[in-house]
Structure 1
Amino acid sequence: MTKTPESESSYDRRRLDQWLAGEARADGADRRDLLRLLAAAGLASAVPLGLSAPAVSAAAGPGIVKPLPPERFIIHGTNAETRFEALAETGHTTPVSHFFVRNHTTTPRVDAKTWRLTVWGDGLTGKARTFSLADLKRLPSVTRTAFVECAGNGRNFYTTQQHQPASGTAWTLGAIGTARWRGARLADVLRLAGLSHRAVDVMPRGLDDEYLTSTGTNYGRVRRPMPVSKALDDVLLAYEMNGAPLPPDHGYPVRVLAPSWIGISSIKWVGDIEVSATPLYSPWNTDLYRLFGEAYPAEGSAPLTRQTLKSAFELPWNVTLPAHRRHRLTGRAWSAAGAITRVEVSTDGGGTWRRARLHDPSYRGTWTRWSVPWTPDRTGPAELLSRASDSSGRTQPETTVHNTQGYLFDAVVRHAVTVAA
């Protein structure tokens, strides 16, 4: 028996009550992180033990599968960032050939014929339930155009613009892509599996290799819980991307799509989903994907959920443009909180601003293309700025409050160019 999902705020209150009562479970989270979090709540002596997940496996492939031509991608270890200027040749959705890749290890090669999704846990009314790809395709399908964006997108600018170092991959603004996703509602799968009214957390886990930190700690396979309220709202188990089966690097045969939430919530190559009647913690919502730093409590912020507001030029960094010629500056703006309502552009380093023309109907959780003409009349270095506003009333700020891991950078970016005679 199921019930209408509770609001996210009431879910948070319920989850906190359970946490404070010592009823949370930590699946592979570092003990020191749990001690720190619980100490802040006055519960350092009540650290619960985690339970093991069912065994799943997949053959690991060599790194990233698809071609990564340098004119489209910047390589960051196991990751590939889209060069934003390469998007100028694309439409509203990002082709697979241009879509960024965020991998913790390597892209696994999974056989769709033998792939199974196991839904299990004490948040169900009965035993575990398995689903094949054919089972998912028999359910009503939903198609949704949405971006997937790494929480660290823009991290590089904490250092280069704000002179505040941040750890992690030094993404500029290309750790995002927008696609047309098709799949089954996670809500439908959970109900078929026997979702209980006691359930509070849903934790998908990927089939990629276990993640070893630089210090040798084994975090296990990538997994991160989300509240039942989110899982029953708009989350998909996607099996198509831009009208074709998911490519290997983007989650084949099935991935989670959690619209508007940080990219780690959209688990790729999903193999099992734990449904829990008690709050769940993993390394990806304890020492990772929280905000730490001088502006935050010692235990860090609450686990990150929704992405933020950004805009970017489809223009190479430090490009040289001829003076006294008309240029059409193009870019994209996006927000997880509302539709883009306005984009303003400054071509004099922020001295003056004018509105850009918007070229797409705007919706929350996707992006809007924009353009503005510019005829530079002075030679030398220049800074181009774009500033987006959304229907929630937010406008990109001049600076972003610093956090040590460089998440959720949303300040106006200063894009350097040179104007030559």
Structure 2
Amino acid sequence: MPNPPAPDRRSLLKLLAAGSAVSALGGLATAAPAYAGTSAGHPARPLAAPGTAGVLAAPGIVKPLPTEYFTVRGTNAEARFDAFGDTGTITPNDRFFVRDHTSTPVLDAADWRLTLWGDGLHGRHPVHFTYGQLRALPSVTRTALIECAGNGRSLYTTQQGEPATGTAWTLGAVGAARWRGVRLSDVLRRAGIARDAVDLLPRGLDDPYVSGGVDYGRVRRPLPVAKAFDDVILAYEMNGEPLPYDHGYPVRLVVPSWVGIASIKWLGDIEVSTRPLTSPWSTDWYRLFGAAHPAGGSAPISRQTLKSGYQLPFGATLEAGRVHRLTGRAWSALAPVRSVEVSTDGGAHWRRAHLHDAPRRDGWVRWSVPWRPDHTGPVTLLSRTTDLAGNAQPDRAVHNTQGYLFNAVVRHPVTVV
């Protein structure tokens, strides 16, 4: 008996949307100041109600957000960069920033499945993987940064006097973790990817994103097959534990060195196509618009850029006449860090900082420098990264209206008393 004809793309999209709604989503939890322990392969669940002293509440975020570690920005939680000093090179799960377009869905791995579909598969029939089937495949562990494309966005305005729309991140929309999961390439091969497939469209299971009265659907963004076969994984563990709800449980993409939007959380399905694909996250957003860019915007952004910063609150007060150990972090998505230079006089003089970690791909390095200020008054501290490919932080970032890829030297004000 011949196989039934494969559904067209529009019909399959409707079918997937309907199936996801009834079988995968589950209920939503609110922010909470405490967790129960991890058990049975599930991340810890919230115990108490929000509003406890010292704990912030954010719409739709599950994990506790202590004020000493986070700043709430709408539906997002920015990690306090100045609080990273005791975290080592790996960001603990409870300190990792949260970027949500809507709300964190609390899903059940027993009901979850990943669907691959599209004309880029042999036979063009959907292929499904359960959570158990995915975990039974050979696993890999990768240490990699995840950084929001808009990290540093507020500095376009505060440093350069150039406005930018979007969440006003400072430097804390970044974190590094050990991710364990399955190579996306292995899953694509098992699903029967065709040789002429060129693009993937991974899509999350969070609620559809609605802005200005327009429903843009669930978060999804094209990913070239070439990148997928390079180093992308389907992660189900973060720092040795099941993914926390806010970070993509039960399964997320991890796309090393690319902007965070590429690492789709709460992964539900992946379209595999023989043609280039688009979504609002590659046409309306995550492109560069503005006077310095083409009239229709740049190509969709992919790689992140390079940054450095002091692990010190902006506006901190330091005592004159004593030695202070200034610490910070530096990273580049373009190549391993080569050096960090610092200035304690607004850029008049520079000297090398001591690097405490071996530079590596997709990671950051901690650095330090001693400083003994002799005079009181306001001081601007600077730091700049140079990587092994010769990329260096400029004095000014090239502006774009949505505030992506800020890479300029950060002007860090302190007061000496």
TM-score by length of 1: 0.87
Tell me by how many angstroms 1:53 deviates. Answer: 6.6
* Structure 1 residue matching 2:322: 3-state secondary structure: coil
Counterpart position of 2:157: 159
Deviations 1:41-69 (CA, angstroms, capped at 9, x unpaired): xxxxxxxx996571213133331011101
CA-CA distance at 1:71 after TM superposition = 1.1
> Which residue does 2:195 correspond to in 1?
197
Amino acid across the alignment from 2:299: A
Q: Distance in 2 between matches of 1:177 and 1:312?
A: 13
Deviations 1:55-98 (A, max 9, x none): 21313333101110111111100000011111012111000111
The C-alpha deviation readout for 1:3-44, integer Å capped at 9, x for no partner, is xxxxxxxxxxxxxxxxxxxxxx999xxxxxxxxxxxxxxxxx
What is the distance in 2 between the residues matched to 1:61 and 1:198? 42
The equivalent residue for 1:276 is: 273
Q: Does 1:96 align with 2:93?
A: yes
Counterpart Cα distance in 2 of 1:26 and 1:123: 12
Gaps of 5+ in 2: 1-7, 31-59
Give the C-alpha shift of residue 330 in structure 1.
Answer: 0.5
List, as ranges, runs of 4+ consecutive aligned residues in structure 1 with deviation greater than 2 Å. Answer: 49-53, 59-62
Confirm or deny: 8 A CA contact 2:306 2:331 kept in the other structure. yes
CA contact (8 A) 1:26 1:280 kept: no
In structure 1, list runs of 5 or more residues that go unmatched.
1-24, 28-48
Q: Deviations over 1:345-403 (max 9, x none)?
A: 00001110000000111112111111000111110100100000001111100001100
Aligned residue number for residue 61 of structure 1: 29
Cα deviation code 1:229-281 (max 9, x no counterpart): 00111000000100111000000010000000000000000011110111111
1:304 aligns with 2:301: yes
1:116 aligns with 2:84: no
**Partner secondary structure for residue 281 of structure 1:** coil
What residue number does 2:364 align with?
A: 367
The whole-number CA distance in structure 1 between the counterparts of 2:388 and 2:103 is 38
CA distance in 2, matches of 1:51, 1:201: 16
C-alpha contact 2:9 2:118 (8 A) present in aligned 1: no
Counting matched residue pairs gives 374
Q: Kindly tell me: are residues 403 and 283 of structure 1, through their superposed partners in 2, closer, same or farther at Cα, counting changes over 3 Å?
A: same
Q: Which residue pairs with 1:185 in the alignment?
A: 183
**TM-score of the two chains, using structure 2 as the length reference:** 0.88
Aligned residue type for 2:151: N
Of structures 1 and 2, the one scoring higher in RCO (CA 8 A, sep 6+) is: 1
Contact 1:153 1:408 in 2 (8 A): yes
Counterpart in 1 of 2:143? 145
Q: Which amino acid aligns with 2:319?
A: P
* Alpha-carbon separation, structure 1, partners of 2:369 and 2:313: 16
After TM superposition, the structure 1 = structure 2 runs for residues 211-230 of structure 1, keeping only pairs within 5 Å, are 211-213=209-211, 215-230=212-227
Alignment counterpart, residue 288 of structure 2, candidates 287, 291, 297: 291
Question: Residue type matched to 2:371 in 1?
Answer: W
Distance 1:26 1:178 in 2: 37
Determine the structure 1 residue equivalent to 2:127: 129
**Counterparts of 1:248-287 in structure 2 under 5 Å?**
248-287=245-284
Aligned partner of 2:167 among 163, 169, 184: 169
In structure 2, C-alpha distance between the alignment counterparts of 1:106 and 1:244, rounded to whole Å: 22
Helix, strand or coil for the counterpart of 2:216? strand
CA RMSD, aligned part only? Answer: 1.5
> How do 1:267-416 and structure 2 match up within 5 A?
267-416=264-413
2:242 to 242, 245, 261: 245
**Percent of counterpart pairs with the same letter?**
64
Residues in 2 aligned to 1:303 and 1:153: alpha-carbon distance in whole angstroms: 17
Question: What's the secondary structure of 2:16's corresponding residue?
Answer: coil
CA contact (8 A) 2:78 2:169 kept: yes
Deviations 1:180-212 (A, max 9, x none): 101000000000000001211111100100000
| Residue pair 1:86, 1:98 contacting (<8 A) in 2 also | no
Q: 3-state DSSP class of the match of 1:220?
A: coil
User: What are the superposed Cα offsets for residues 108-143 of structure 1, whole Å, 9 maximum, x if unpaired?
Assistant: 000011110001111100211111111111111111
- The answer to whether the 8 A contact 1:26-1:281 is kept is no
Q: Distance in 1 between matches of 2:317 and 2:265?
A: 39
